[in-house]
Chain A
Amino acid sequence: MRTRWRAASALVLVPVMVAAAACGSGSGSGSKSGSGSGPHGLITVTTGSTSPFVANFNPFSPTVQPGANGMIYEPLMFFNTARAGDVQPWLAQSYSWNSDGTAITFKLRSGVTWNDGKPFSAADVAYTFNLDVQEPALNTKGLPIKNAVANADGSVTVSFTKPAYQQLVYIAGKTLILPQHIWSGVSDKKTFADAKPVGTGAWTVGKVNSQVMELTANPHYYMPDMPKAKTIRFLTFTGNSTADQAIESGEIDWGGGFVPDIKKNFLSKNAKYAVEDIPLSVTYLVPNYKQGPTADKAVRQAISQALDREFISQSVYNGYAPPTNPMDLLTPNFNSILDPSLADQKFGKADPAGAKQTLQSAGYALGSNGMFNDKSGKPLEITVKQVTGWSDYTSVLQIAEQELAAAGIKLNVQAEAYASFIQDQNNGDFQLLIDNFGYTSDPYQYYNQLLNGSVAPPIGQVDQFGDYGRFDDPQVDSLLADVSATQDANKQKQDYYRIEHLVLQDVPTIPLFAAQDEIEFNGNHVKDYPTTDNPYAAPPIWLQPDEGWVALHIAPAS
């Protein structure tokens, strides 16, 4: 038996070496031949998705395949998620609103073709938006579209039933334009298996199997000298540990997994390994604003004071979770709407004495065990909910538990399965929970999701929009409504400034730090990816459609 095993393993070694040699020579020769002349080379990526790949790129799917959004199908404009206000032409060159925000006209790019060779036209764009009207189930963004018309000059006008300024990101940045000549022949668009997607994008579908999906450069792409790479290969992994193994070994050129102790486990392994961490969302402790101990502002304030955010960021994320501010604002992304008078508002070191003082002056008394009691004399205990297995949050909460204990506040950590966690979050069934919010290029969408009390239903009813803590301040709501009713950036700024002051005063949430969004790049294989100094798009491969914009620019390193 033993000898047979040895023989078998010797046989196996041969194909391993052959495969390795084939890989090496393949990418090597690719990068040599392609010095500036057309797409060349291979980029291997993983989105962290654990589902098998299937040949189905239906863009209406809520769980659309990676790549479909931005790489194969494209929106009209690119809204840079890493930098608010950075809007680039994609399929459209520009847009203009009518006077009251009920109609928008897009001037389209010329010379664009679908990847089957047919020309792209205004009729395709109008068709796409009219689909939302004809088949309301396809209108997953809930856009208030009245109709869309292709104008004689080649532009497109989309009309709305109400002002839609604040839907711009969804209209121009997230609606994928479909070819009328293909989709008009599809009877059931919801369940159409779009195996050979005909898009305008820089990529077409190569091969797809459960573990691997390859996209191949579209040779007729309309943006000059784009894309740079010939092939993008997506791999799927069962979870963090298998993905990390591949990322650390250099097999992945562009990955987005959480690698624990990333300096030691990744960066130190190769001089050309790089990590880009542009703040895209904020990690919060979301307090329940309506019931339980956190309904009292003093408790929220004390928790915030007792935490040492810098220490947590260093201990858990190697410092890759940059500081945030008490206005709940994602910076530097939204610096443009930050009230200059608040620019120096920062979180300091842990201040247990200050936290104790806050609670004492609000009527809480320290018990004989050094822990606070609530106003009825029972111990003040706060339960924080997290998702089981999200190991970084586990570490964050362990530290928070100790820091709060030093301020006399007892924190209980309760881990729940993902689905249960979401259920509790949506029903408002929690005292405190840890989660992150953001990933938008639009400060209105950001604040609206975080703070708009007018759309969050009462506790016990399902909330699937945001403001899970049921923060409720009519002033904030009306300011948000005000922002959404205008296109005047200066007027919006004044509203945002006032919201920031209200947030500072109400403490609706307990922001911790900008969420760690470490994206790993293997500099031996790729270059020209977005960096903190040049954030031309958000770097995460799992962030759509930014990933499509990055894929246009990223190039195999020679």
Chain B
Amino acid sequence: MRLRYIGRKLGFYLVAAWIAITLNFFLPRLIPGDPVAVIISKQQQTGTVPLGEADQLRRLLGLGSGSLAGQYGQYLNSLAHLRFGLSITVFPTPVIDLVRQAVFWTLILVGIATLLSFALGIALGTVTGWKRGSRLDAIVPATTLLTAVPYFWLALLLVYLFANTWQIFPAQGGFDPALDVGWNGAFISSAIQHSLLPAITLIVASVGGWLLGMRNMMVATLAEDYVVAAEAKGLTPLRVMAKYAARNAVLPSVSGFAVSIGFVVTGQIVMEQVFNYPGVGNLLFAAVQNQDYPLMQGIFLAISFAVLGANLLVDLLYGFIDPRTKEA
């Protein structure tokens, strides 16, 4: 029974992965333009370019050999061998090196911010749902307002206030450029200090969504018979709130959380742009600007697999959290 459930899920995810891989190949090629043209044009921004350089670059970069179908075959073949190619933006650096470097920064910052935001939203949502109708309800429109404010504006405002006006936090960067990257105290504390402001902006901007969802589910759940029964039995309010109401109310938020955990790897393009943060979002932005197909493919692949992986994990876990889903 359980094995069949897992098997069915895995089969579905395999098909989804193949579709993702294929889209990943074709989508970047639908963007108009040509990487060699971008390189030539950039070089012309800093000098004349000799006649015939374009053809030479095409040979150097190994681009455009064979038909699209042939290229697709080559692409699948190199994926099977875990070869992701060389970036064009910073030729000839392997894509995997660039992605690995960026994912590290993104995972830590956006990952922790997402976790904190989720935890905070669920906790506040539980409490406001439990004390519905009290003054605490004012939190709901307040946080929703912050979510509704365009993120870049909020981020710039906080940078202006906390980095420029009061200089509590550094305005940008992932760490102090004077330090050596590594597991040493000075660097780690610098990295943490640089991550606080972006993390705060991410949490402030996203907590409202979790809170609202959780609060509304709480209100609905509190009307259920089993909650009334628990109260009638004389259980402590804390126990009723946490074990009876919140535990059931949190289920939809958990699946939402799975999706956002997957998207953590995407990075936050706007956040990383505003804070000049060395994450995946910036890398993706640079890749698109430079028509860097291999890099785009590498990043999209990482994102697709992170989203699929997170979903699979939650799908499997969900069977335990909510046994009803296994029978569906």
Contacts and interface: CB of A to CB of B under 8 A. Distances in A.
Interface string A441-461: 010011011000001000000
Contacts of B274: 238, 242
B46 A238 contact: no
B5 interface: no
Contacts of B52: 142
Contacts of A139: 56
Interface stretch (B132-140, B178-186, B231-239, B302-310): B178-186
10 closest pairs, A vs B, by CB?
A: A419-B33, A142-B52, A464-B54, A445-B48, A191-B92, A242-B276, A210-B278, A212-B177, A439-B47, A137-B59
A271 interface: no
Contacts of B172: 237, 242, 245-246
A470 to B, nearest CB: 16
B91 A207 contact: no
Interface string A413-454: 000011110110110000000001101101001101100000
A191 B101 contact: no
A332 interface: no
B202 interface: no
B91 to A, nearest CB: 4
Given A52-B278, A464-B40, A464-B53, A439 B190 contact: no
Interface in B21-47: 31-34, 36-47
A211 interface: yes
Given A210-B102, A238-B273, A245-B171, A464 B92 contact: no
B97 to A, nearest CB: 7
Contacts of B90: 51-52, 54, 56, 61, 63, 65
A54 B93 contact: yes
Contacts of A141: 50, 53, 56
B54 A170 contact: no
B49 interface: yes
Nearest to A207: B180
B57 A211 contact: no
A60 interface: yes
B51 A211 contact: no
Given A12-B189, A142-B51, A543-B46, 14 more contacts: A9-B196, A15-B190, A50-B286, A51-B290, A56-B90, A62-B39, A62-B61, A141-B53, A143-B50, A193-B92, A245-B171, A423-B33, A464-B37, A464-B54
B177 A233 contact: yes
A484 to B, nearest CB: 11
Interface of A: 1, 8-9, 12-13, 15-16, 19, 22-23, 26, 44, 50-52, 54, 56, 58, 60-63, 65, 81, 136-143, 167, 170, 190-193, 207, 209-212, 233, 235, 237-239, 242, 245-246, 417-420, 422-423, 425-426, 436-437, 439-440, 442, 445-446, 448-449, 455, 462, 464-466, 540, 542-544
Interface string B161-191: 0000000111111111111110000100110
B88 interface: yes
Contacts of A448: 48
17 contacts: A19-B176, A58-B92, A62-B39, A142-B52, A238-B272, A238-B276, A242-B276, A420-B32, A422-B34, A445-B48, A449-B48, A449-B49, A464-B40, A464-B54, A465-B49, A465-B51, A543-B47
A543 B275 CA distance: 27
A239 B290 CA distance: 14
B45 A50 contact: no
B312 to A, nearest CB: 30
A435 B176 CA distance: 37
B101 A52 contact: yes
A51 B169 contact: no
A191 B93 CA distance: 8
Interface of B: 31-34, 36-54, 56-57, 59-61, 86, 88-94, 97-98, 101-102, 105, 120, 168-181, 186, 189-190, 192-193, 196, 272-278, 282-283, 285-286, 289-291
A257 to B, nearest CB: 13
A341 B28 CA distance: 54
Best-buried of A12, A19, A52, A425 by chain B (most CB within 10 Å)? A52
A139 B50 CA distance: 11
A370 B179 CA distance: 64
Given A141-B50, A419-B33, A9 B177 contact: no
Contacts of A8: 196
A449 B219 CA distance: 71
Contacts of A449: 44, 48-49
A527 B54 CA distance: 39
Given A22-B178, A233-B177, A423-B33, A52 B283 contact: yes
Given A56-B93, A422-B33, A423-B37, A62 B43 contact: yes
Nearest to A210: B278
B44 A437 contact: yes
A140 B93 contact: no
Contact of B92 (A50, A192, A544): A192
B38 A140 contact: no
Given A142-B56, A211-B173, A63 B89 contact: yes
Nearest to B101: A210
A145 to B, nearest CB: 13
Given A137-B59, A139-B56, A193-B92, A54 B98 contact: yes
A418 B173 contact: no
Contacts of A16: 170, 193
Contacts of B174: 210-211
Nearest to B186: A15
A211 B102 CA distance: 11
Contacts of B277: 238
Nearest to B180: A207
Contacts of A62: 39, 43, 57, 60-61, 91
A522 to B, nearest CB: 16
A140 B57 contact: yes
